Each structure stands twice: as C-alpha cells, then as structure tokens.
Amino acid sequence: MGREIVRQESTLEPGRRSRLWFSDDIFHVLEENKGTDTIEVIITNLHKDRKVKWCGKAFGQMKNLRILIIRNAGFSIDPQILPNSLRVLDWSGYESFSLPFDFNPKNLVIHSLRDSCLKRFKSLNVFETLSFLDFEDCKFLTEIPSLSRVPNLKSLWLDYCTNLFKIHDSVGFLDKLVLLSAKGCIQLESLVPCMNLPSLEKLDLRGCSRLASFPEVLGVMENLKDVYLDETDLYQLPFTFGNLVGLQRLFLRSCQRMIQIPSYVLPKVEIVTSHHRRGVRSSNDAAKVSPKVSANAMCVYNEYGKSFLNVYSLNVSSNNVIEVCSPSWNQDEHKLKNMGYSLFCHPIHRRRVIMDKVRSNEPSVHLWFRKKFPRIALCCFFETGESFDNMVLDFKLNVLINGTKQLSTSCVYMFYRKRKTDQKFFCDLQCNMDGRFSENEWNHVEIVGMSCLLCN
C-alpha cells in the first residue's frame, strides 16, 4: 500500500516521486538524468552484470536526497556529484578511488562504503551528526586521516582493510566512540600510540598479524568490556593497560609470541586463549601487587627466544637493599652455573613449585658473604614435563639477609606453545647500599622463590 501511494505521486515519471526502490525506475532516473528535488530516498540492490550508463551527474538535481543505499551496482563512470543533503550514504561496492571533491554532507549520520575501491578520503570537516563510519573490506585504503572533527562518532569499522597501515592519532581520543573494529588489517603494526576512549565498549583487533604494540591507556576507561587481540604479534601489554578498569574478557587466541600481562590485571580479567577453553586467571595474591616497576629486570629464554620481563615490587620501600637487574651477560648454561647459583624447579604439573639449590632438596638457597654483597647470577629452570596450549606464570622471588627480608618481587607473564618447552629465568641480584652489613662477620643470605602456574 505504501509503495502504491508513492507511485501515485507521479505515475508516469519516477523522478518526481519521493522514494525510489524499483531497479527499472532507478535506472531510468539515473541514465536519463531525470532526477528532481522531490526525491528523498533511493534504496536498491542492482546487479553488476547490468551497468548504469550515465553521465555521472544525475544526483546533482536531487537537492533533498536524504538516504542513498546502493548495493552491488556497476556504473559506466564514477559519480561526479553527490548531494550534500545526505544523512545516510550506504554504497557497498563503490567503484571509485575517492569521493567527489566538493562532497560535504554536514548532516551525514551513517557513512558506509563497504567492499569499495576507495583509496583515500580527505580529512572530514566538522560533522557533528556523523555516528557510524564503515570502511570494511576496502582493500585499497591505506590510511585513516584525522577524525578530530567528528566528535560524535560511535562506531568505526575498518575490518579487512588489508593494505591499511596507518590510523591517525585522533582516533584514540574520540569521546563518544563505542565500537572500534579493525579485524584482519594485516599491514597494521600499531593502532594508535595513545588512547583515552571513555565510551568504548568493544575493541576488536583480531587477525592483525603485524600488530606489535598496544596503545598506552592515558585515562580511566570504565566501559570497555571485551578486547580481542587474537592472532596478533603482541609480546607485551603496557603498564597503563590497568586503566581499563571495566575490562572483563581479554581474548588472546592463537597468539604465537609470549604475552607479558601486568600482574594486577590477571585476577579480575578472564583470559581466553583457546577457541574451546576460557577462564585463565592468576592467584588472588596478584591483586596486592604494587605498581612499582623496574623495567627489564628479568629475562626469560624459551623456544621463541629471549624476552625481558618487568618485575613488580611487593615491598614498596626506598630502603630495599637488594635489587633485581637485567643480566648483562650472554653465556651458555655451563658458564652461568660457574658464575653464581643455578636454581631448578619442580615439574610444572604440581602447580606450585619451590626453587631448590643445585643437587639439593632444601626449599631455598643459602650463602654467606663478608664485606660486600656479591653480584649473583640466578638461573631458574622450569621443567614442564607436559604439553600445554598456554600458561600464566606468577613468579615470586624473596631475598632475606640475616633473617630480614630485603627484597620481594613478582612478575607475571603468559606464554604459548605447541609442544613441551622448558622455561629458563635469568636475573642478577646486587646490593645498592655499601656498608649496610657487617664487614668482619659472615652475613647469611637466603633466597626463596616460588611460582604459581595456571594452565589452559
């Protein structure tokens, strides 16, 4: 009935009707250049085997066109004009490399050019109403320009833009943005350097196989519930990741590199690392970890090579006498044993392991020194004995001198593997206060380490 009412607006000339949806009527209006300012809506799903043979200027007469939805259409030449009155532009399969130069729809709300040939688009002017921007499957699009003048943008879709390598920094500061999706952008190495997106609820970066860094989170983000980082090249998350206070699920499926996760994140976030398994969490003790960081304080070797870890101090005190330092040596295992104390761990399947002295059943390492604390190279071997898809390891190290705790540190990280792999931790212990201990008497040192392991 509604379509018949519209047809009665002009039974002979479709260009004088307010709405067009029949393919034949749309072909007639575009090819014969019969458009008028009466047309407000055009919605059609044309067939590419029948091209619109037109001059490219037919939309120029449609001064009041508000909604333009075109699917799978073929045109003989690119559109030369698009009306600035548009509120919805949804043109999938758009064949031109760019939009008309003078196209400036200030009332545009939805802008979708999915699966188009778009190579570039100029920085948008002040679009107060634009809330939906979709460039999914735009294979030729290489960069996203500034969106700082689009303050009310709520959804940004960049999925499978396989040549996209740069996103303007302004995308990280869109106050109203609720959804940001860039799945399958295989050339993208960095999303944005920093972000503060207080309204964001979902961030999807699945399949960005070159993505090696996560943005620094500059402000508290309470609404972000799900972050998808599956199949990325990430090896660590920034310390400011903790500003995602509303985060509930972190997806890390099929990530091949070691992932370092700040320990204060693990107790409250569900880590999903397999398509059939979920729920990896660390122990509740990690919630007490203080955000005091000593960068590059420990390194770990496994089949993927060497990676440096951050160590979080549980004992926040400027009076700590012993400190953990990154190893300055690059030696094989035999030479390391001659330099200091090599520590072994019980098999991983016990879930909780205690470091032992070499060829000893004692639960800790003991040594004595006089005058000056020796620089000690520690080597801790985690013999897994089993094959897991992934692990979250909470490694703690305590150092007591003459019965008084001088250092308590912890580091938490996640790693993945397809087969059995032993983990080897290396670190240096050194004293940063000379003369703190007796120079004439022997000082007793006890080193205690433990690991809490969760497997998925």
Residue with tokens 């979920």: 278
Could you state, in order of their start, the residue ranges of all structural domains in the chain? 297-455
- Distance between CA atoms of residues 347 and 383, nearest Å: 5
Phi, psi of 12 (to 5 degrees): -100, -30
pLDDT at 48 over 70: no
Task: Give mean pLDDT, residues 184-189.
Answer: 96
- Distance between CA atoms of residues 244 and 40, nearest Å: 44
Q: Which DSSP helix (H) or strand (E) runs through 247? A: none
Task: Give mean pLDDT, residues 61-82.
Answer: 92
Residue with tokens 């660590």: 236
Predicted pLDDT at 385: 56
The token pair at 350 is 């016990």
β-pairing, 365-369 with 443-455?
antiparallel
Q: Kindly report, residue by residue over 366-382, the tens digit of the pLDDT.
A: 888 887 888 777 777 66
pLDDT at 290 over 50: no
Q: Kindly report, residue by residue over 251-273, the tens digit of the pLDDT.
A: 888 876 756 676 666 667 777 77
Which of 399, 434, 240, 239 is CA-nearest to residue 314? 399
CA distances from 358 to 355, 379, 422 (A): 9, 10, 17
Predicted pLDDT at 304: 55
- Distance between CA atoms of residues 424 and 410, nearest Å: 16
The token pair at 115 is 């699966």
Q: Give 375 or 151, the one with higher predicted confidence.
A: 151
Three-state DSSP class for 324? strand
Are 374 and 220 in contact by the 8 Å Cβ rule? The answer is no
Please, which pLDDT band fits residue 204 given cuts at 50, 70 and 90? very high
Report pTM: 0.70
Q: Kindly report, residue by residue over 307-335, the tens digit of the pLDDT.
A: 556 555 444 455 678 877 765 545 444 55
First to last CA, the chain: 59
Q: Give 316 or 235, the one with higher predicted confidence.
A: 235
Phi, psi of 311 (to 5 degrees): -110, 130
